[in-house]
C-alpha cells in the first residue's frame, strides 16, 4: 500500500508539473502570437501609408509615396505627356533626374537632365532640344 501511495504521489506531482509547463508554454505561445499580430497590423498600416502609385493633379507617380506625396526614386507621367524619372522629395523633383518633354512642346525641348531642387533644375545640367542640340550648364 505504501508503494501505491508513493507512486500515486509521484504521478500527481508529474501531472501538476506537466500542467504548469503546459500553462507556461500556452502563455508564451499566446504572447508570441499577439506580438506577431501587432507586427502584422503595424506592417499593414504602414503599407496603407506607403504607396507605389499615386494620382495627383499633375499626373501619375510610379514610385514610393507617403500619404499620397511622392518621395524617393520613381517616374512621374505628367498629364501633358511629359515624364520625369528620378528622385522626388515631398512631391517635388529633388535630386538627380531627367525631365522628358512631350513631343511638339512650344519650347522645342527634348529633355533636361541634372540636379533638381524644389522642382527647379540646378547646375550642372544638360538641356537637349528636339534637334538634338545639347547645352551644358
What does the pLDDT look like over 14-35, one tens digit per residue? 888 888 887 788 777 777 777 7
Burial of 86: CB neighbours in 10 Å, binned 0-12, 13-18, 19+: buried
Residues 6+ away with beta carbon under 8 Å from 118: 92, 94
The three cell numbers locating residue 84 = 520625369
Mean pLDDT in the chain? 85
The answer to whether 81 and 98 have CB atoms below 8 angstroms apart is no
pLDDT of 135 reads 86
* Dist. CA 39–CA 36, nearest whole Å: 5
Domain boundaries, the chain: 1-50, 56-136
Residue 45 pLDDT level (bands cut at 50, 70, 90): low
- Confidence check: pLDDT of 49 > 70: no
- The residues that bridge with 87 in the sheet, in sequence order, are 73
User: What is the tens place of the pLDDT at every residue in 82-123?
Assistant: 999 999 999 999 999 999 999 888 888 999 999 999 999 987
> What mean pLDDT comes out for the span 52-70?
88
The three cell numbers locating residue 106 = 512650344
Among candidate residues 112, 52, 117, the one with its CA nearest the CA of residue 82: 112
Amino acid at each position: 500500500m505504501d508503494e501505491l501511495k508513493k507512486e500515486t504521489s509521484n504521478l500527481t506531482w508529474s501531472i501538476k508539473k506537466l500542467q504548469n509547463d503546459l500553462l507556461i508554454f500556452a502563455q508564451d505561445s499566446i504572447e508570441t502570437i499577439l506580438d506577431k499580430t501587432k507586427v502584422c497590423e503595424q506592417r499593414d498600416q504602414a503599407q496603407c501609408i506607403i504607396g507605389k502609385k499615386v494620382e495627383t493633379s499633375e499626373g501619375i507617380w510610379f514610385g514610393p509615396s507617403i500619404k499620397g506625396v511622392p518621395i524617393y526614386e520613381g517616374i512621374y507621367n505628367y498629364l501633358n505627356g511629359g515624364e520625369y524619372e528620378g528622385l522626388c522629395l515631398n512631391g517635388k523633383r529633388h535630386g538627380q533626374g531627367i525631365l522628358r518633354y512631350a513631343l511638339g512642346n512650344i519650347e522645342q525641348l527634348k529633355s533636361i537632365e541634372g540636379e533638381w531642387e524644389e522642382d527647379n533644375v540646378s547646375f550642372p545640367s544638360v538641356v537637349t532640344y528636339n534637334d538634338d542640340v545639347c547645352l551644358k550648364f
